[in-house]
């Protein structure tokens, strides 16, 4: 396993549409394992393959929710290959989203509260499930990446420009610290 570099906006690769995985091979499993390691190291709760520069429909998610409130985070890696949303609720929920490709920036995004999704896991086994809460939000955010969409695209132009300005400022400060 290896940690891969995460690409950040405005890298044009992030705008590419990812292609379906024809077969879950050993190469795909290696990609999945690297993505999990990269996500945990970042740290983040979700990562799409395109964020490490691979335009394939592969996602990893781990909400690392503690078993009890206020407890230690527990690892529960989920792998979504060729995910599809079959149904989405009319009811929406708002969540303050962030993204490893738009570092340090957060904004409220509205998405369907619950979805029915279908996907393959790391072993190529098919799953179909109703998902809600943070997992539904996170899966929709990661699936956007497969279409070249970032969470900031859901915001008004004004809010998006504000975030991109803040990001430029944050990067400048980061490079000053590194110098
Ligand atoms: Zn993201």
Where do the structural domains in the chain lie, given as residue ranges? 12-174
Which pLDDT score, from 0 to 100, does residue 177 have?
A: 84
| CA–centroid distance, residue 70 to ligand 1 (Å) | 26
| CA–centroid distance, residue 136 to ligand 1 (Å) | 14
Rounded Cα–Cα distance for residues 152 and 164 (Å):
9
Which pLDDT score, from 0 to 100, does residue 178 have?
A: 80
Which pLDDT score, from 0 to 100, does residue 23 have?
A: 98
| CA–centroid distance, residue 149 to ligand 1 (Å) | 9
Which pLDDT score, from 0 to 100, does residue 67 have?
A: 87
Task: Specify the 3-state DSSP secondary structure of 80.
Answer: strand
Which pLDDT score, from 0 to 100, does residue 143 have?
A: 98
- For residue 58, the tally of other CB atoms under 10 A from its CB is 29
Find the mean pLDDT for residues 103-113: 97
Q: Given its phi and psi angles, is residue 142 left (phi above 0), alpha (psi -120 to 50 degrees) or beta?
A: alpha
| CA–centroid distance, residue 25 to ligand 1 (Å) | 25
Give 178 or 102, the one with higher predicted confidence: 102
Q: Is the pLDDT of residue 71 over 80?
A: yes
**pTM reported for the whole predicted model:** 0.95
Residues with a catalytic annotation lie at 142
Find the mean pLDDT for residues 109-126: 98
* CATH architecture of the domain with range 12-174: Alpha-Beta Complex (3.90)
């Amino acid at each position: 396993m290896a940690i891969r570099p995460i690409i950040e906006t405005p890298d044009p690769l992030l705008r590419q549409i990812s292609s379906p995985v024809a077969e879950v091979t050993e190469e795909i499993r290696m990609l999945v394992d690297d993505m999990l390691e990269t996500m945990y190291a970042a740290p983040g709760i979700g990562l799409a393959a395109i964020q490490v520069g691979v335009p394939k429909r592969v996602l990893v998610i781990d909400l690392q929710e503690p078993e009890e409130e206020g407890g230690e985070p527990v690892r529960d890696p989920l792998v979504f290959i060729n995910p599809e949303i079959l149904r989405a609720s009319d009811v929406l929920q708002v969540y303050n989203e962030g993204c490893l490709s738009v570092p340090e920036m957060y904004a409220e995004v509205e998405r369907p509260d619950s979805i029915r999704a279908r996907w393959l896991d790391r072993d190529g086994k098919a799953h179909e499930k109703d998902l809600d809460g943070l997992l539904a939000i996170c899966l929709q955010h990661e699936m956007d990446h497969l279409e070249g969409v970032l969470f900031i695209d859901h915001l008004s132009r004004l809010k998006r420009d504000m975030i991109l300005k803040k990001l430029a400022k944050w990067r400048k400060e980061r490079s000053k610290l590194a110098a």
